[in-house]
Amino acid sequence: MRVLVTGGAGFIGSHLSERLLKDGHEVICLDNFFTGCKNNIDHLMDYHQFELIRHDIIEPILLEVDRIYNLACPASPVHYQFNPVKTIKTSVMGTINMLGLAKRVKARILQASTSEVYGDPLVHPQTEDYWGNVNPIGIRSCYDEGKRVAETLMMDYHRQNGVDIRIVRIFNTYGPRMAENDGRVVSNFVIQALRNEEITVYGDGSQTRSFCFVSDLVEGLVSMMENELDFVGPVNLGNPVENTILEFAEKIVSITGSKSKIVFKTLPKDDPKQRKPDITLAKSKLDWSPSIDLVAGLRSTVAYFETQLSKGARRRD
């Protein structure tokens, strides 16, 4: 098949593109390089079936494809709050463009939605039938509400135009090729630990997150896209093992053997207090559940950042 991956030069998109190529598909990677980078996909350039297009999904594009994974959107709070209007345009106008393309060429389209559609959830763990607790006017809403509208658009194109859709709600995912500077907790803590700098826990660290390794997530994305049950979702994809952020910081100090001290900083506004996916639906419909435990996943992530930091040091020499 010919598969379009928007946001293909980003963290998750680059792993997904690699997997699709290995499965024998042609991959068109489309990216505006806002948060993605060519280094993430350098190793894919030698594949005859890999094509890279610099394009912004806010603008329409004409292509002939069988599948569309719509991943284009900055994902870390620092990046999506950098230009909030652009973030919401990406989720709304970008998704309309991708749905228009899917409709024209009769492609199946999967939307990368997020656990952020549950906002600061009052139901725990989060099930797909929970409608969420999102502040519509806060600093996170450009991302949260953008993704909620993207889900609405997917469902309306499906009901009104018969577009073949899939919706996944991705929970915190980590692994090699996360951007060093994206401000997310995994990259921040690992880099701080490797540099023996202070580890910055926001608030008192009692807020929780559940971390899924990227290879598990990619498996879930492909299973959802290719399920032939006509199961459109939304479905949660994430690892249900929940950690407080303070426990997570301690784990990273221990795995890296760092001399870093943990310090406490102001909690950002609207930071969700708890997050943990209920993955009953993914298990029953897709036979999917994550297999990489946190320590193993973190070891491979630490190894990646060690290499990145030493490349940076060599460049400075």
Least distance in Å: CB of 247 to ligand NAD? 18
Binding of ligand NAD by 112 (CB under 6 A): yes
Q: Site residues for ligand UDP, window 200-229 (CB under 6 A)?
A: 200-202, 207, 209
Binding of ligand NAD by 69 (CB under 6 A): no
Please pick, from the candidates 1, 52, 53, 58, the single residue that binds ligand NAD as defined by CB under 6 A: 58
Tell me if 112 sits within 8 A of 154, measured CB to CB: no
Q: How far is CA 149 from the centre of its chain?
A: 17
Between residues 60 and 162, which has the closer beta carbon with respect to ligand NAD?
60
Whether 174 sits among the annotated catalytic residues: the reply is no
Partner whose footprint covers residue 271, from ligand NAD, ligand UDP, none (CB < 5 to 8 Å by kind): ligand UDP
Residues 134, 135, 136: CA angle, nearest 5 degrees: 100
Q: What element of type H or E holds 70? A: strand 67-70
Between residues 154 and 245, which has the closer beta carbon with respect to ligand UDP?
245
Q: Which residues pair with 110 in a beta bridge?
A: 69, 166
Alpha carbons within 13 angstroms on the beta-carbon side of residue 256 total 28
Binding of ligand UDP by 184 (CB under 6 A): yes
Catalytic residue among 143, 157, 202, 304: 143
b/e per residue 139-154 (b: at least 16 CB within 10 A): ebbbbbbbbbebbebb
Cα 271 to Cα 223: distance, rounded to the nearest angstrom: 31
Binding of ligand NAD by 119 (CB under 6 A): no
Q: Site residues for ligand UDP, window 6-35 (CB under 6 A)?
A: none
Q: Which residues pair with 167 in a beta bridge?
A: 111
Residues that bind ligand NAD (CB under 6 A): 6-7, 9-13, 31-36, 56-58, 71-75, 90, 94, 112, 114, 170, 172-173, 179
Residues recognised as catalytic? 143
